[in-house]
Structure 1
Amino acid sequence: MDLREGAPYAPRRLRFAEGDLVAVSGLPGSGKSTLLARLAAARTIDSQDTRERWATRLPALPYALYRPLVRLDHYRVLLRAALTTRESLLVHDCGTLPFVRALLALAARRRGTRFHLLFLDVSPPLARAGQRARGREVSRYAFARHRRAAGRLRARAARGLLPRGCARLVLLDRQAAAELAALDFVPPARPRATPHTTKGPALPTPRGAADG
């Protein structure tokens, strides 16, 4: 589903089934955390929250020294929630590690639900501006990795190819993300009850009647 500029129809609400897993991906500074915070309609797992928890424990240390521990802790929380609960989840996806999306798709399949991906397609200059606005810029090397990963995902989406196990990929630009009003997780519709009829005794078939 492409909701970027020029899309003929851009819904203001996106609906998912209760228990589905939804990852939000895009370049650093594209607005993933902002979108999650604004529209959170389910439990949200954001790597930035994990980073802030560690920063309060280790305020004197530079982030680069304990970054690997933050990532491990984030993936621990994410996989525990995905594999051991039935909660609907909104997940911050950095985009450079496809195996994370593969694990989310596997977890959704084990739950009997589905995995979806929202991709914020923002230009590198806009993403860099978003990083400066939040006061946290990634290195040139890291940003180049993110750009390559985002480019591959965008190119595959343009050909109609979804990541393995992904039920729906939604492409959003800044405007479409800003106009999005809600992410809804709705219970599955109950099957309609069929009226109960009491069968009477079978009537005898007249002699000579043809079958059919």
Structure 2
Amino acid sequence: MNRTTAYATTSGIAVPKQPGARSRQTCRPLGAAVVRDLRARAGRSPHGLTFGAGDLVVLTGLPGSGKSTLMRRTVRGARIDSQDTRDRWDTRLARFLPYALYRPLVRLAHYAGLRRALRAGAGVVVHDCGTQAWVRGWLAREARRRGGTLHLLLLDVTPDTALAGQRERGRGVSRYAFLRHRRATRRLLRSIERGEMPEGCGSAVLLDRDAADVLHRIDFTD
């Protein structure tokens, strides 16, 4: 299997298009931020991403872009996905109450689960909708505290693809919420493409649909 992870060097420059990936790459603590752009490779992108043992990874993108599906398929180790938390609560309450009434409890349970995972000290992959900058700040501080690095994975798909994904799963967000997510994700993507990452982020990996489809494993070193 073509097991690849992105060696995060200390060059600290954005690389919109890079040559073919090595057979194995690993993201490690950095002195400067690094961008790995795996888009537009027509499926010739890494089959695996490996990060440092104490690192934290945030997966972000538009609602419906396929983040939860990608996490379930690829993450070997701890993963914290707000969708998993919602599904558990929906099983118990959706027949009796509209989601809006118990959404605060879902959020509380999600962040409580994230806190427990972080306290365990191992690497964690965290779902992020792209609009909660304070969550990335929290994770960046935690990564520094444990001597690791915060890495960002951004799943870059078109709004139409994301909306189609919402229809396919039978669950969507409001037009207002989607536009808010779209603006936030676009700002984040443009910033990363300029090599300007969120504060505390050591590296970023940009994925399109093809790159996400061939990615089979996200894990952490022992």
TM-score bin, normalised by smaller chain: 0.7 to 0.9
2:112 counterpart of 1:76: yes
Shift of the 139–8 alpha-carbon distance from structure 1 to 2, 3 Å rule, reads closer
| Counterpart residue number, 2:20 | none
Separation in 1 of the partners of 2:44 and 2:67?
A: 22
Q: Which structure has the larger Rg?
A: 1
Summarize the alignment of residues 85-96 of structure 1 with structure 2, pairs less than 5 Å apart.
85-96=120-131
| Counterpart residue number, 2:180 | 145
Gaps of 5+ in 1: 188-212
Gaps of 5+ in 2: 1-35
Task: Provide the aligned C-alpha RMSD in A.
Answer: 1.5
| Counterpart residue number, 1:193 | none
Residues 14-35 of structure 1 show CA distances to partners (whole Å, capped at 9, x for unaligned) of 1101121111100000000000
| Counterpart residue number, 2:84 | 49
| Counterpart residue number, 1:65 | 101
1:172 Cα deviation (Å)?
A: 0.3
1:184 Cα deviation (Å)?
A: 2.6
What is the aligned residue count? 186
* Aligned equivalent of 1:165, options 195, 200, 222: 200
Summarize the alignment of residues 185-204 of structure 1 with structure 2, pairs less than 5 Å apart.
185-187=220-222
| Counterpart residue number, 1:23 | 58
Kindly provide the amino acid, as one letter, of the partner of residue 169 in structure 2: R
Separation in 2 of the partners of 1:37 and 1:182?
A: 10
1:81 Cα deviation (Å)?
A: 2.1
Kindly provide the amino acid, as one letter, of the partner of residue 45 in structure 1: I
Separation in 1 of the partners of 2:84 and 2:149?
A: 25
1:57 Cα deviation (Å)?
A: 2.6
1:9 Cα deviation (Å)?
A: 6.7
Kindly provide the amino acid, as one letter, of the partner of residue 138 in structure 1: V
